[in-house]
Amino acid sequence: MSKFSRKKFITGTTAATGALFTHGLVFDGGGISKTFSNSNSVKIEKIETFPVRYPMVLPFRFFDGPAGTGRAAVLIKITTDDGSVGWGESVPVPRWSYETLEASVIAIDRYLKPGILGKSPFDLEGINEMMDREIAPSFTTGMPITKAGIDMALHDLMGKITGRNVAELWGRTTGEELELSWTISTTDLDEAEQLVEQGLDKGFRHFNIKVGPDLDYDLQLVDRVLQIVPETFLWADANGDYDLSTALQACPRLADAGVPVLEQPIPISQISGYQRLVAQGALPILVDEGMVEPAQVFEFIKLGCIDGVAMKPSRTGGLLSARQQIEMLENSGLLFLGSGLTDPDVSLAASLILYSAYNLRYPAALNGPQFLAESIITEPFRPVNGKVRVPKGPGLGVEVDEDKLLDLVRRSRND
C-alpha cells in the first residue's frame, strides 16, 4: 500500500460559496495592468507564428497520426514598438483535443492577430475578451490550447519589458527546482517494468501511469510498478477511457492496490457520473480533458463533481485562466496537481513557473523532457535526479535560439 492516502488530499469542503464566486470569476489578472500602468504606452507591433514538430525519443500514443509524427507546436513571437520580444507556445494535440497544428496557425494569423496588433501587452483581460469574441466558446472557451500560446507570449513580454519574472508580476516567488514524475504508457507489463527502470536510472522517484479501459491489466500494472518502487507517488490517469460502471469498480480496487489519486476516469460530459464517483469516496477524483475555464471549475465544485483538477495552463487558455482555477480550488480546500501536454520549451517554462509559484505539493507530470528529442531554447530543461530547474529570468525565463527554431521549422515542413 502506498503511503499516500485520500485523507492527505481532501482537507476542505466541496461546497461553493459566494466568496469563491467573487474571488474566482471576477479576477483582474493579479493587478498586473494597474501595477505597471506606466508601461501601457508600449504597443504590440508584430506577431509571428512558427509551426514545428519536435522529434520524439520515445513513442507516445498521442503524437502519431496521418498528419505526421512528433510533438506539434506553434511558437509565437510578439514584438512591440520599442523592440521588446515575448515568446509563447501553443501545443495542439488532435488525438487528445480537437485542435490541430494547422488550425492553430490559421486561427492566430487570420482571426486573433488583427485584434491584438496595436494593443498594450499589459491588457490581458482586454485581449482575452477579444480572443473569445473572435473565436467564440461553445460549452467552454473556443480553441483554448491555441489561445494559451498568446497568453504565454504576453506574460513573457510583460516580464521582459519590466525586467521581472512572471511569478514576480503576480507578487509571488518560486523555488529553485520542481520534482517531476516519469510517465508509464504501455499495454505490455514487461515493457512497463523496463520503463520504470529507465526512470529510476535517470533519478526519478515518482511515476504516473496511463490506465483504462482494462481494469484487470491496470491492477497488474500498479502491482508491477509498486513492487519495484513501493514508496512512490503513483498517479493514475485514465484519459476518460473507463465507462462509469468500470470506474466505480476501479476506484476502490486501485485505492487498495496503492494508487492515491485517479485522473479523468470518464469523459468530462458525464457530470452525474462524476457526482457518483466523488460520492463513492474511494479515491480523490481529478478532471483534466475538457476542464478549460474557471466557470466550469466553479460549477463542478458546486455540483460536487470533483476533488480537484490536473492543471495544464496549455489546456486552459493560458496562465491567467490557470491561476484563477488554482485559487478557486485552494479556496475550496480542493487539490490541484501539475500536469502537461508533453510540453516543450516555452510552454514547459510557463508550467514550471506556475506550479512553483503556487507551491505544488506533489510531483508534476511534465513529461516533455522524457519524450522530446530536441529543444529550441538556449538552455534546455534537463532533469537531474528527477527534478528540473524553475526558470528565474525576466518573463518566462527562457531565450529562444531562433536559428535552431528556423531549422526545426524547415525540417518539420519536409516531414
Ordered structural domains, the chain, with CATH: 6-23+174-397 (3.20.20.120), 31-168 (3.30.390.10)
pLDDT at position 374, please? 96
Element (H, E) at 77: strand 71-80
Read off the pTM: 0.92
Could you read off the pLDDT tens digit of each residue along the chain, which spans 415 residues? 334 443 444 433 333 333 333 333 334 455 565 555 555 689 999 999 999 999 998 777 676 666 567 899 999 999 999 999 999 999 999 888 899 999 999 999 999 999 999 999 999 999 999 999 999 998 889 999 999 999 999 999 999 999 999 999 999 999 999 999 999 999 999 999 999 999 999 999 999 999 999 999 999 999 999 999 999 999 999 999 999 999 999 999 999 999 999 999 999 999 999 999 999 999 999 999 999 999 999 999 999 999 999 999 999 999 999 999 999 999 999 999 999 999 999 999 999 999 999 999 999 999 999 999 999 999 999 999 999 999 999 999 999 999 999 999 999 987 6
Q: What single-letter amino acid sits at 91?
A: V
Return the pLDDT at 25: 37
**How far, CA to CA in Å, does 371 sit from each of 149, 156, 403?**
21, 25, 22
Distance CA 370, CA 325 (A): 27
Q: Taking the CA of residue 180 as centre, how many other CA atoms within 13 Å lie in the half-sphere pointing to its CB?
A: 30
Q: What is residue 69's predicted lDDT score, i.e. its pLDDT?
A: 77
Nearest to 287 by CA among 321, 257, 312, 320: 312
* Pairwise CA distance, residues 93 & 90, whole Å: 10
Residue from 149, 126, 137 nearest 351 by CA: 149
Q: How many CA atoms lie within 13 A of 9 on its CB side?
A: 27
Q: Which helix (H) or strand (E) holds 60?
A: none
Residues 12, 334 contacting (CB under 8 angstroms): yes
Contact 350, 391 (CB under 8 A): no
CB atoms within 10 A of CB 230: 12
CA distance 308 to 287: 7
CA-wise closest residue to 46 among 68, 86, 78: 78
Residue that has been written with the C-alpha cell 506533489 in this structure = 362
**Long-range pairs for 107-110: beta carbons < 8 A, 24 or more residues apart:** 107/135, 107/143, 107/146, 108/47, 108/49, 108/74, 108/76, 108/146, 108/149, 108/150, 109/49
376 burial level (CB within 10 Å; 0-12, 13-18, 19+): buried
